[in-house]
Amino acid sequence: MKELLISLDSRSGKPLYEQIYTFIKEEIRNGKIPPGERLPSSRALARQLSVSRSTADLAYEQLTSEGYLQSVPCKGYFAGDVTELYQLGGMSRRAEPVQRKECPSYRYDFAISGIDRGGFPLNAWRKISKAVLAEEDSSLFHLGDPQGEWELREAIANYLHHARGVDCGPDQIITGAGNDYLLMLLSVLLGKDKPIAMENPTYKSAYQCFKSLGHPVCAISLDESGMRPDELGQSCAQIAYVMPSHQFPMGTVMPIRRRLQLLAWAAEADGRFLIEDDYDSEFRYKGKPIPALQGYDKNDRVIYLGTFSKSMAPAIRISYMVLPKRLMAAYEQRGRCFSATVSRVDQKILEIFLREGYFERHLNRMRAAYKNKHDLILKQLRAMQDFVTVEGENAGVHVLVSFINGMNEKEAVEKAAAAGIHVYGLSEYFIEEMEAEESRIVLLGYATMEEEEIISACKGLMNAWGGAADRP
């Protein structure tokens, strides 16, 4: 029988049973206790180490469950054969190290996605979370309604009616973990054979989602009012995906006449729908918010998408879809089998956040913060007016910079990168090859940057881009 000379430290933060377990495991792994050797009984070990019997039992149970010991009834504990563990360890040590993919390092990043660093309403969210969990409502941990909890959908419907002019009831709303999930669900309802028209350039994530689901996608060019209805009418599309309140990435706000033209197109044939992605309509800095396209729909043809990712935080991952009443039967038949993808706890927190006015106060605070950044970046860009023009301002959290000095997008991105500044070329958002004259635009997002960083980064861009100002 192997006598174990274990030195225990009662002042260590590690429990005594864990110290015993670690010592015996390492002795077996290192071959100092060979396979098949008998160990002291837990009673004898406890007496030897002056610990309780339960402490020794706990250490032996853990070692047995991991295969380091074998318990033989009426005989005792014996060291297990851990040869395979040695082989695995050797393989691990001999394996070639995995090379981490290095990302370019930038001092400043005009990121298009993301929120203000201090923008998340952490105190309010924490307060509501504690209150929800303190209720000890066990039903919150059961599987809920596939559409989302009724109370949350009721709060969303009330918000949409007052803030966006959306005409819907809670029964038409479906919540989900992000727009990608909702688009996949929508594909099930509409059928994967439906051709979809998308603005060009557009939100590439939605485009990639539709393509991966098997939908034929056709690109429709934009004019100063948005998606061109003449091109849409000539296409084979049955669905049109649009962002009328603030087109991404161009920043176009679709006027009422163009909205009515798209609604007329949808009403011309059975099975046609408009998908309205209202991703960041909360942030408008000039005039009143533009009502949603859905509010003008008299023929039940608009599918409305919204999210809390832009207004609160990307990690919240709560989006919602308002289905036309004519699609509710399809949802009951083919969509209700998909379980809810947002936990009931998170839904309850968000419901209270909406219902008790926290969201409205949060939006007011963020509008003020983003407007300050918006005005600041426009002020900085005015110093470059000899070689750039600015578009897409007064809404959202990014602007477009067009070069009038002969510089193209590729040169602008490379010069900025050389100065340690990350800017984004418009060509990244086209779904068909762009024409040459459209390749002189870059996007600057400002939500994630501090005001001091905006000033410093714009000065860096002035130096990086200003050298080309004298080009013919």
pLDDT tens per residue, range 223-271: 999 999 999 999 999 999 999 999 999 999 999 999 999 999 999 999 9
Q: Collapse the DSSP code of 243 into the 3-class scheme (helix H, G, I; strand E, B; otherwise coil) and give the result.
A: coil
**CB contact set of 250 (below 8 Å; sequence gap of 6+):** 201, 222, 391, 392, 400
Query: In this predicted structure, what is the pLDDT of residue 139?
Result: 84
Q: Using the predicted structure, report yes or no on whether residue 93 has a pLDDT greater than 80.
A: no
* pLDDT tens for each residue of 149-167: 999 999 999 999 999 999 9
Q: In angstroms, rounded to a whole number, what is the distance separating the alpha carbons of residues 196 and 207? A: 9
**CB contact set of 141 (below 8 Å; sequence gap of 6+):** 344, 345
Sorting pLDDT into bands at 50, 70 and 90, what band is 89? very low
116 and 370 Cβ atoms separated by less than 8 Å? yes
Query: In this predicted structure, what is the pLDDT of residue 1?
Result: 67
Q: Collapse the DSSP code of 382 into the 3-class scheme (helix H, G, I; strand E, B; otherwise coil) and give the result.
A: helix
Token code pair at residue 377: 């970046």
Q: In angstroms, rounded to a whole number, what is the distance separating the alpha carbons of residues 364 and 464? A: 36
- The mean pLDDT of 16-36, rounded to a whole number, is 89
* pLDDT tens for each residue of 385-397: 999 999 988 888 9
- Burial of 224 (C-beta count, 10 Å sphere; 0-12/13-18/19+): exposed
Q: In angstroms, rounded to a whole number, what is the distance separating the alpha carbons of residues 303 and 207? A: 17
- Looking up tokens 């004019």 gives 223
Q: Using the predicted structure, report yes or no on whether residue 91 has a pLDDT greater than 70.
A: no
**CB contact set of 236 (below 8 Å; sequence gap of 6+):** 195, 216, 218
Residue 350: count of CB within 10 angstroms of its CB: 25
Token code pair at residue 36: 């098949």
- The residues pairing with 112 across neighbouring beta strands, listed in sequence order, are none
Q: In angstroms, rounded to a whole number, what is the distance separating the alpha carbons of residues 304 and 168? A: 10
- What domains are defined for the chain? 16-94 (1.10.10.10), 108-114+361-466 (3.90.1150.10), 122-357 (3.40.640.10)
Q: In angstroms, rounded to a whole number, what is the distance separating the alpha carbons of residues 29 and 35? A: 10
Q: Using the predicted structure, report yes or no on whether residue 455 has a pLDDT greater than 60.
A: yes
Instruction: Out of 39-53, 173-187, 201-215, 351-365, pick the least confident.
Output: 39-53
Query: In this predicted structure, what is the pLDDT of residue 87?
Result: 46
- The mean pLDDT of 296-322, rounded to a whole number, is 93
* pLDDT tens for each residue of 103-130: 668 899 999 988 898 889 999 999 999 9
Q: Using the predicted structure, report yes or no on whether residue 84 has a pLDDT greater than 70.
A: no
What is the average pLDDT score of the chain? 89
- The mean pLDDT of 133-141, rounded to a whole number, is 85
* pLDDT tens for each residue of 390-437: 998 888 899 999 999 889 999 999 999 999 999 999 999 998 765 545
Type of residue numbered 237: A
